[in-house]
Amino acid sequence: MNWISNTASRGRNRQASRGVTLIEVLIAVTLLSLLVAGVLLAMRVGLDALQKTNSRFLANRRALGAQRILEQQLAGFVVTAADCIASGGPQPTAKINFFQGEPQTMRFVSQFSLAGASRGFPQILEFQVIPGEEGRGVRLIVNEHLYTGPLSTGRFCYGLAPDPETGTSLARFTPVVTGPGSFVLADQLAFCRFLYKETLPDPPFERWLPRWVATYLPAAIRVEMQPLALDPAKIGLTSFVSPVFVRSRVPLGVYSD
């Protein structure tokens, strides 16, 4: 009888030893949870790093693309005429060579089109520096208008007036209008300005002017830009100089046909 009782007891002990206790289950679940949390954390870190890398890559591409577009637009500079019409006047009052050069505004005709690149039709380009979003920094925008002749450029001019600094009769231009069709070339800039190179017969032989009031075209145009936030890991927009290739000095004042 005792032998049977001992045998049954040993059987129950073996069955109990083959089972899993609640503490063991809790430990296993905890270890599994920690493993899953570690894997998820590693995946999150990897995805964040990938997203930052992609964002930096896209920002670098935008910066390089914007600078390349600017350089190509300036390289495609075309000397064109404009029938400058006075305010309220039915007939053109003067025929001028079309160019406007201000510290934060620039107009000229270029063979480079945003839509068609160098294969597109000549475009009247309007560059304007405007405030950035929420008043943070500035941005550079450009408008494109199809060039179809002196009347298409003349609509941006509303007569001639003596310049207060030089007394030279220069064209007066309409303000650049920004809208849904304006293309943002560069954004989040600390500053952006245009400078115009004038060659001189005597030393220092050249100088850079913030406003072009001469009666001939500038020898080169300098675009100065600086990002609002400097990040050594990103390619920032930099200043550059683009020569204006003109075979001869063409007067910007009135000329006859």
Average pLDDT over residues 237-249: 66
Cβ contacts of 47 within 8 Å, gap of 6 or more: none
pLDDT digits over 160-186, tens only? 888 887 777 788 899 999 988 899 888
Domain of residue 168 covers 48-243
Confirm whether 135 is domain-assigned: yes
210 belongs to a structural domain = yes
pLDDT band at 17 (very low <50, low <70, confident <90, very high): low
Summarize pLDDT for 71-99 with one digit per residue, the tens.
Answer: 888 888 888 888 887 655 555 567 788 99
* 147 assigned to some structural domain: yes
Position 222 confidence tier, pLDDT thresholds 50, 70, 90:
very high
pTM of the entire predicted model: 0.71
Is 127 among the domain residues? yes
Residue 14 is assigned to a structural domain of this protein: no
Q: What is the number of structural domains in the chain?
A: 1
Residue 34 lies in a domain: no
- Distance in angstroms between the alpha carbons of the first and the last residue of the chain: 134
Calculated CA dihedral for residues 154, 161, 127, 178, nearest 10 degrees: -80
Residue 202 lies in a domain: yes
Give the pLDDT score at 123: 92
Residue 33 placed within a domain: no
The residues facing 142 across adjacent strands are 127, 183
Task: Tell whether the model's pLDDT for residue 212 goes beyond 60.
Answer: yes
Parallel, antiparallel, or unpaired for β 123-131 and 157-162? unpaired
